[in-house]
Chain A
């Protein structure tokens, strides 16, 4: 029996740093280019008379200007790339029993622990640059978080849970939604349709009480006979069906009427029909 995974962990794709690189290169590139031309134009104004175009910016100065601007530009881009490489490396998320844990940070490491009961909304977004690299960002909105309020003040609207650079956001979305339904106040419509072992125990308990109340309705059972035919001990049968030994014993004594589900399970295990196991008297 393989062990059950109680939590689901992951990290983000390195495509994120490539995407950020492209995005920053283009935006900073535009700024650098526009800025240098603007500076050059200012310098032209300084060197000329204003109206006459007799003056000209010395070539050395022009070259120097562009070299300075673009060196700074390239340095910044390289630093951003290195920063994002570490960012991707340090980024991890974990979907555990009661919380979503997001670990991130390059210089300052942050660990955000978000309880599922607090999650209001999950959004999946992808911008222009995301689409080129096929990455997505999952944004998790929570109720009344001070972090969200604080960052909204700064103008950077970052929801409490923010996972960028994901190739397959759907898996995470579904996993989180799964955990959310477990913690929500309203049970999912499926609860009463699924045959769970806990319900079986409860079922049996109710059946026992009801049968005690219904004097005139007894079932005759051949459970012991059929069990022995199949070479099962009472304990074996109890284990295979998933009920306590006591239950099997009570059934055998005719002390109580099982639910249909339990009868079905027993019939399955003993390879017989329900009508063979029990008869109405």
Chain B
């Protein structure tokens, strides 16, 4: 069992370290300020050339700037403690275990969680199972 992941970015963090305003970064890369804004928010998938250019300018490797984050992390962080308790109860696990889903990796996921609990957690969060997790394919 694996987490379904999305691309998150640390552009803002590295940009601010260099004291580079959004507009300047945008000009250097050759895109609009709007694009940089959306990239920082994570609302859009950048092309590889843009990613390379940003990596060049910010002087950091691509996998430091853009990283894969489990979709579930953002969702769990948006829930209140009360909601999380409810969901944990629904799934028959304790709160700490549910919260650990934000921290653990794919390997740990397969070890600690059964598909059954994950299905209930998906129902509890109101999201399709297949948008949160993937079943292992022979790799």
Which A residues are within 8 Å of any B CB, using their own CB? 1, 168, 170-171, 174-175, 177-178, 181, 190, 192-196, 199, 203, 207, 210, 214, 217, 219, 240, 257-261, 263-264, 269, 273-275, 278-280
- Residues 57-89 of B, flagged 1 when their CB comes within 8 A of A and 0 if not, give 000011100101001001100000000001000
Q: Is the interface of B mostly helix, strand, loop or mixed?
A: mixed
In contact, B47 and A210 (Cβ under 8 angstroms): yes
Apart from A195-B71, A280-B52, 7 more pairs, CB < 8 Å = A1-B135, A170-B90, A171-B90, A273-B62, A274-B62, A275-B62, A279-B52
Which secondary structure dominates chain A's binding surface? helix
The residue that A273 contacts in the complex, of B49, B53, B63, B126, with Cβ under 8 A, is B63
Q: Tally B residues with Cβ within 8 Å of A.
A: 35
Neighbour of B53 across the interface among A177, A193, A280, CB < 8 A: A280
Provide a sorted-by-A list of 24 A–B residue pairs whose CB atoms are within 8 angstroms: A174-B123, A174-B124, A174-B126, A192-B44, A193-B43, A193-B74, A194-B6, A194-B131, A195-B6, A195-B71, A210-B47, A214-B49, A257-B49, A258-B48, A260-B47, A260-B51, A260-B66, A261-B45, A273-B62, A274-B62, A279-B52, A280-B49, A280-B53, A280-B56
Contact B53 A195 (CB under 8 A): no
A195 to B55: give the CA distance in the assembly, Å: 22
Chain B residues with CB under 8 A of A174: 123-124, 126
- The CA of A110 and the CA of B48, in the complex, are separated in Å by 58
Determine if B23 is an interface residue (Cβ-Cβ < 8 Å): no
Q: Are A178 and B61 in contact (CB under 8 A)?
A: no
Of B45, B71, B128, B135, the contact of A203 (CB 8 Å cutoff): B45
